Chains A and B, each alone.
Chain A
Amino acid sequence: MSKERITGAEAMMRSLEHQGVKTLFGYPGGSIMPTFDALYGHRDRLNHILVRHEQGAAHAAQGFARVSGEVGVCLVTSGPGATNTITGVADAMIDSTPIVVIAGQTPVSMLGTDAFQEVDLVGITQPITKWSYQIRRAEDVAWAVARAFYIAKSGRPGPVVLDFTKNAQTEMVDFEPMTLDFIRSYDPDPTIDEEKVKEAAELIDKAERPFVLVGQGVELGNAQEELRTFLEKADIPCGCTLLGLSAIPTAHPLNKGMLGMHGNLAPNVKTNECDVLIAVGMRFDDRVTGNLATYAKQAKIIHLDIDPSEFNKNVKVDIPVLGDCKKTLTKLIGSIKDNKHTEWIDSFAEHAQTEYARVIEKEVYPKEGPLNMGEVVRAVSEASNNEAILVTDVGQNQMMSARYFKYSKNRSIVTSGGLGTMGFGVPAAIGATFGRPDRTVCVFMGDGGLQMNLQELGTIMEQKAPVKMILMNNNYLGNVRQWQAMFFGRRYSFTPMLNPDYMKIAEAYEIPSRRVMKREELQDAIQEMLTTDGPFLLEACVIEEGNVMPMTPPGGTVNEMLLEC
Chain B
Amino acid sequence: MEKTLYTLIVHSENIAGLLNQITAVFTRRQINIESLNVSASSIPGVHKYTITAWTDSETIEKVVKQIERKIDVLQAHYFTDDEIYQHEIALYKLSTPEFQSEPMASKTVRRHSARIVEVNPTFCIVEKNGMSEEITALYEELRTYNCVLQFVRSGRVAITTSCFERVNEYLDMRAEKYRRQKEEGHE
Contact = CB atoms under 8 A, between A and B. Distances in A.
Bound pair (A, B): yes
Interface of A: 122-123, 126-127, 130-132, 151, 182-187, 191, 307-309, 311-313
Contacts of A132: 17
A307 B69 CA distance: 8
B116 interface: no
A185 B24 CA distance: 19
A126 B69 contact: no
Given A123-B20, A127-B24, A183 B71 contact: yes
A37 B178 CA distance: 39
A461 to B, nearest CB: 40
A184 B12 contact: no
A309 B13 contact: no
B62 A309 contact: yes
B73 interface: yes
Contacts of A126: 17, 20-21, 24
B71 A309 contact: no
B175 A184 contact: yes
B143 interface: no
B66 interface: yes
Nearest to A130: B71
A147 to B, nearest CB: 9
Nearest to B64: A309
B166 interface: no
A184 B69 CA distance: 13
Given A127-B24, A308-B65, A312-B61, A182 B178 contact: yes
Contacts of B69: 307-309
Nearest 8 interchain pairs by C-beta: A309-B65, A185-B74, A184-B174, A309-B69, A182-B178, A186-B71, A131-B71, A185-B72
B73 A185 contact: yes
B98 to A, nearest CB: 45
Contacts of A123: 17, 20
A129 to B, nearest CB: 9
A9 to B, nearest CB: 24
Q: Which of A182, A184, A307: most chain B Cβ within 10 A?
A: A184
B62 A313 contact: yes
Contacts of B58: 312
Interface in B70-118: 71-74
A309 B66 contact: yes
7 contacts: A126-B20, A127-B21, A183-B71, A184-B174, A308-B65, A313-B62, A313-B65
Nearest to B65: A309
Contacts of A151: 71
A123 B18 CA distance: 10
Nearest to A187: B174
B28 interface: yes
A186 B174 CA distance: 9
B156 to A, nearest CB: 24
A307 B73 CA distance: 15
Contacts of A308: 65, 68-69
A307 B65 CA distance: 9
- Of residues A183, A307, A309, A311, which shows the largest number of chain B Cβ atoms within 10 Å of its Cβ? A309
Contact of B62 (A184, A186, A312): A312
A178 B175 CA distance: 20
A187 B70 CA distance: 11
Interface in B164-181: 171, 174-175, 177-178
Given A309-B65, A309-B69, A185 B13 contact: yes
A184 B12 CA distance: 10
B42 to A, nearest CB: 16
Nearest to B67: A309
A127 B28 contact: yes
Contacts of A307: 69
B63 to A, nearest CB: 10
A309 B68 contact: yes
A36 to B, nearest CB: 27
B171 A184 contact: yes
Nearest to A314: B62
A185 B61 contact: no
Contacts of B61: 312
Contacts of A122: 17
Contact of B177 (A191, A309, A313): A191
A99 to B, nearest CB: 16
Contacts of A131: 71
B61 to A, nearest CB: 7
Contacts of A130: 71
Interface centre among A183, A185, A308 (most CB of B within 10 A): A185
Contact of B74 (A127, A184, A191, A311): A184
B143 to A, nearest CB: 40
A392 B21 CA distance: 33
B127 to A, nearest CB: 37
B116 to A, nearest CB: 43
Contacts of A309: 62, 65-66, 68-69
A150 B73 CA distance: 16
